[in-house]
Amino acid sequence: MTGKLKTLTKNQLFLPFAMMVLVLLINLIKSPDFFAINIQNGVLYGRLIDILNRGSEIAILAVGQTLVVAVSAGTDISVGSVMSLTACGTCMLLAGYGVNSTTTLAVPLVVGLLFGLVLAMCCGAFNGFLVSKLNIQPMVATLILFTAARAIGLLLCNNQITYIRYEPYKYFGNFIPGCPVPTAIFITVVVVAIVMLFLKKTAMGLYIQSVGINKKAARISGLNSSNICFMCYLICGLCAGIAGIVASSRIYSADSNNIGRNYELDSILAVALGGNSLGGGRFNMAGSIIGAYTIQAITVTLLAMGVSTDQAPVVKAIIVVLIVTAQAPAFKAFLAERKAKKLVQENETQKKEAA
Amino acid sequence: MRKTLSVLLTAAMATSMLVACGSSSTQATTTAAAPAETKAAETQAATTAAPAETVAEVTEAAKAAEANGETITVGFAQVGHESDWRTASTNSVQSALSKENGIDLQFVDCDNDSAAQLEAVRNFIQQGVDYIVIDPIVSTGWDTVLTEADDAGIPVIVIDRTIDDSDKYVSWVGSEFTNEGLAAGAWLKAYVADKGISEVNALVISGTTGSSAQIGRSNGFDKYVEEEKWNKIDEQTGDFTQEGGQKVMESYLKSYEGKFNVVVCQNDNEAFGAIDAMKAAGVSYGVDGDVIVISFDACTAGLQKVLAGEINADFQCNPLQGPDCLNIIKKLEAGETVDQKTFMAEPWYVAEDKLKDIAYTNNSGKEVTEPLVVVDQAVVDAAY
């Protein structure tokens, strides 16, 4: 029994998961109806649904971010801006350049969406090229699009918020009529499933890990390190694009200033909360996704408790510090040392008693 | 294959860099007015007759000035482009301070970065422009740079937001936000009395905390909350964004289900978000609904919602500061003194034809009775 418990607590996913449960438990004590889920107006309704729904963007971003962190021991800080660019590109094409609000589409919806995703993949490819081929530090390489992508989006939208008041465009961030589950949840599930399958069914996961641990060694053993690195950035860009479309669809517009603002930080945090080392190498996708929903759970909790949205970051920071500390190797070592000392003491007292 | 890829990527990189450069220094000399701007100017002409006349006069003066070969250079450091309101404000200034009026406008979009804005103003001083127009992102930290402008003898005109820690500017043009809040309170008082609603349980989605619009609108409305013993259940910020309004409303709906009958959103974008959240939860709102929706700004999309009966009342915050700026510059050029403060004319829009006007004590302590404008298609078409 204790053995089983030990393997459970030793699992990398244990702590992230426990943290999320803890956050949710605090809510349960505060207000028992936090977990209530019912059907209202034909759709699922409740705080848990809010967490799953609103956490979609961070979860999708975390998928890409995890790969980038694992393969290059660096972070892609352009994801928030790429979200904004994707939204702007999509809305611009759908509405026609310079149109501020439209109820009819200039091009078919699919074309607009594909264009947005292609834009996002170009951004990913650009980042990947700088990091993998030119060996620029990830933080510096992605800093370029971090500043530029939002501005390019703004140019595409002719300096204004472009509204797409066309019902099907709202589906991705809201509900498809007749379906009680928010569409964003489906999108997240599909993205996560595809990437997980890709990692599990091909050797890609292993490759990424080996490149992350030692690029040279991986290369010598026959892996094309730079191509693998490039691909991770490409996937990360695509994920940012998908998240951007969801975020844009929620407000059926391209708000270049606000879409994806600070999301790069949340996505990196999600990776860290998931127990992944930001030093690259071994990674756990499930951990990052749990991390993403933990962040959203904290946000929703604070809103539910009526903590003013301005002060919320302080509380959020405290919780994050606690979670990260609990997972820090130094802290774990400290606990282990204390445990060992205790054992030694016990042993000694036992010896004395015996004597 | 690899070669083609790298060539393509380099090309993509080069173009994106070019585009990036073009936008990060959004400094552009404004030229002819775009159709939208012309429309904005027309609206202004239609609503307030006086500035329109001055525009005409100044055009005359400008023609004379141009004949003499003089152009006035003006530097304009704008906050950013975060909302339709801001875009309207930018367009208004750009079309009023135009070449036709004898002004060479240097426009800088500061993208909500106050350091960039200080830098932009310093640049204007170095360039030796004739006038500087600032919409300050933050209200403090201006003393040094405004002293520099003062030493250089460049008059500074402040629009929209305020500067608190310096008085080295010649004039300020903007909205009296407290009056907007007070008018909202006065309207709600009259409206609930008319409808026979005895209890007011209000939820407030406020703007960016600390912005003068948020402070003014909250203070004005809170005065009525206190006087009328209304129950303000909660107030959280939606940061003046649609997503913010939607998120806060989603949370409110779960916390205070069925316990509220008034939602006050401090701008239209927040109201759109809140309305979407209520729609998704099946809560009825607006003219025939259970929840009264109050909003501020009254941009075109907002007035469309008023017309559709989804927003009960929308209190305008007039973004068309351009003609007033032009007026001030013209007066200063003529050597006249200008008013320290110019308040914009701001109509109050409502969805229903029940109340004709509202009476309240405004922020300067004056008893005023102001008309309520019922929104119809013509009003929407004329909006900014």
Instruction: Among B24, B247, B280, select the one facing A151 at the smallest CB separation.
Output: B24
Do A225 and A324 belong to one domain?
no
Q: What is the pLDDT of residues B321-361, one digit of tens each?
A: 999 999 999 999 998 888 888 888 888 999 998 888 899 98
pLDDT band at B155 (very low <50, low <70, confident <90, very high): very high
Topology of B177-317+347-382 in CATH?
Answer: Rossmann fold (3.40.50)
User: Domains in chain A: how many in total?
Assistant: 2
What is the pLDDT at residue B69? Answer: 54
Do A122 and A240 belong to one domain?
yes
Instruction: Among B239, B273, B280, select the one facing A41 at the smallest CB separation.
Output: B280
Q: Looking at residue A129, which CATH number applies to its domain?
A: 1.10.3470
pLDDT band at B20 (very low <50, low <70, confident <90, very high): very low
User: What CA–CA distances, in Å, run from A191 to A16, A63, A117, B262?
Assistant: 21, 8, 14, 40
Domains in chain B: boundaries: 27-174+320-343, 177-317+347-382
B194/A155 Cα distance (integer angstroms):
48
Structure tokens at B287: 């003219």
**Residue at A1 is within a domain:** no
Q: Quick one: which of A156, A74, A144, A64 has its CA closest to A119?
A: A156
Determine contact: B46 vs chain A, CB below 8 A. no
Nearest CA in chain B to A163: B301
As for the ipTM of the complex, it is 0.85
Expressed as residue numbers, the domain containing A231 is: 11-34+44-306
Nearest CA in chain B to A144: B17
Q: Quick one: which of B104, B85, B294 has its CA closest to B206?
A: B294
Q: Which residue would you say has higher pLDDT here, B246 or A19?
A: B246
pLDDT band at B46 (very low <50, low <70, confident <90, very high): very low
**Residue at A193 is within a domain:** yes
**Cβ within 8 Å, pair B247-A125:** no
Q: What is the pLDDT of residues A118-136, one digit of tens each?
A: 999 999 999 999 999 999 9
B166/B132 Cα distance (integer angstroms):
15
Q: Which residue would you say has higher pLDDT here, B352 or B15?
A: B352
Beta bridge partners of residue A163, listed in sequence order:
A101, A253
Contact A236, A73 (CB under 8 A): no
Determine contact: B243 vs chain A, CB below 8 A. yes
What is the pLDDT at residue B161? Answer: 85
Mutation target vs B (from A165, A258, A299, A314; most B CBs, 10 A cutoff): A258
Nearest CA in chain B to A253: B242
Q: What is the mean pLDDT of residues B297-313?
A: 92
Nearest CA in chain A to B7: A129
What is the pLDDT at residue B122? Answer: 94
Instruction: Among A45, A152, A300, select the one facing B23 at the smallest CB separation.
Output: A152
A279/A348 Cα distance (integer angstroms):
41
Q: What is the pLDDT of residues B176-195, one digit of tens each?
A: 899 999 999 999 999 999 99
State the CB neighbour count (10 A cutoff) for residue A114: 14
Residues 293-352 of A with CB under 8 A from B: 300, 303-304, 306, 308-310
Let me know if the fold of B27-174+320-343 is the same as that of B177-317+347-382: yes
What whole-number percentage of chain B has pLDDT above 70? 82
Contact B129, B74 (CB under 8 A): yes
Predicted model pTM? 0.81
Domain B27-174+320-343 matching CATH 3.40.920.10: the answer reads: no
Do A61 and A195 belong to one domain?
yes
Do A211 and A248 belong to one domain?
yes
Angle between helices B2-24 and A109-128 (to 10 degrees): 100
